[in-house]
A and B are shown apart, each in its own frame.
Chain A
Amino acid sequence: MELFAGLQVTWWLLLGVLLIGLGVMVGMDMGVGTILRYVGHSDVERRVALNAIGPHWEGNQVWFILGGGALFAAFPLIYATAFSGFYVVMMLLLWTMIVRPLGFEYRSKIASPRWRNVWDWSLFVSGAVPMVIFGAAVGNLFRGVPYSFAWDLASVYTGSFLGLLNPFAVVTGLLALALSMMMGAVMLLNKTEGMLYQRAHKMAGWASLAAIVIFAAEGVWVGRIDGYRLVKAPAPGILQTPLMQMVTRAAGAWRDNFSAHPSLYLVPALGFLGMAGVYLATRAHRNLLGWWCGALAWAGVIGTAGAALFPFLLPSSSDPSMSLTVWNASSSRLTLLWMLGFTVVFVPLILWYTSWAFWVMRGKVRAEEIAHDEHAY
């Protein structure tokens, strides 16, 4: 049974890696969508901005799809409970996300200014809204979500749509938005020149400062809200359902893990370091370094959330003892093992060919090139 607990923790970590991938790669593309109208004033500038991520956004988006698939495979009860509980929000997320591929692909196919303007707005919406919703979803994990299970583990959501828009969740949404705008701006710094570069430079500075402020504020705030504490449960590594444990709520309980292991404070410190790194590196026009600092910032933020919540994945606010944890929401040992095998083989491959694709498309995007390429966005 040792192996099973190890696999569960491994998959919890892998989920974190996927979320970081999602934040860095999808967040970057969505950030470009969000700031598109600000950094690009003329149509040519906007096309340059879109073509900076044009060859990569499809591949990047798979981080999101893989995140959903991995959640389904490794923690099916989380996938089932969260997606159905957040129904209205999920639909908004979905609808804004499915407009995005069309925005990229269809925007520049017709030369009418009105047509392109409509798609530019849709790229703004499909960049900003999903990032706020991602963040808000993570924020809600800290507040807990009102749901319970019937005897056959059918989940029943008892809250309303508006309950998901509590202040803590919305502010977490803004943090995700700020980070994605920051990464979008840094990406443009690496790929563009001229006025576009100037405006992206300004944006990267403001967005990284905003992220620092929000992250710090949430760090203080989280000490004042009710956290969850696992009081009694079957030992980790024993196959269990959410009907077999006892959980209590206590103010400041989300700091428990940090108090027990003070070295964990390194994780949020890395987050701050990353954000400050983006600010300083972009001021010095060291833009590639800035990009890696941005990735570090995402890792720090998501790592901090994970470190605070562990072993909780989705606490129930209406029935805390039915909260979903790493121990009771995971798939069986055999599934986790097979999935780990596929991950070990394919994730290095993915990282390898993704870097190759970025290397092939290296260098700045120039307006003349786009005008001469019928495949450009």
Chain B
Amino acid sequence: MTNTPIEIEGQPMKTLAYFLLFLVLAFGVILLAVVLGDRGAWYFAWLIGTPLIVLVSAAGAAWLDTQEEAAAKGAAHKAP
């Protein structure tokens, strides 16, 4: 339904534009990391730590889904 950056086959100009955009973003992130790591160690730690905390808790939820599925399968095996 939407045009995500992944569906850009066959549109070389658009691909190039996205490539440049992400390249600039990547350099921005590197620059930020260099400056922050140098001057603001705690700011840098926050910037790294927050996505980490979010991702770990997200992974925990995904794991719960597999645990539940496994438990449901186990129950289904036992039931008959």
Q: Is A in direct contact with B (CB under 8 Å) within the complex?
A: no
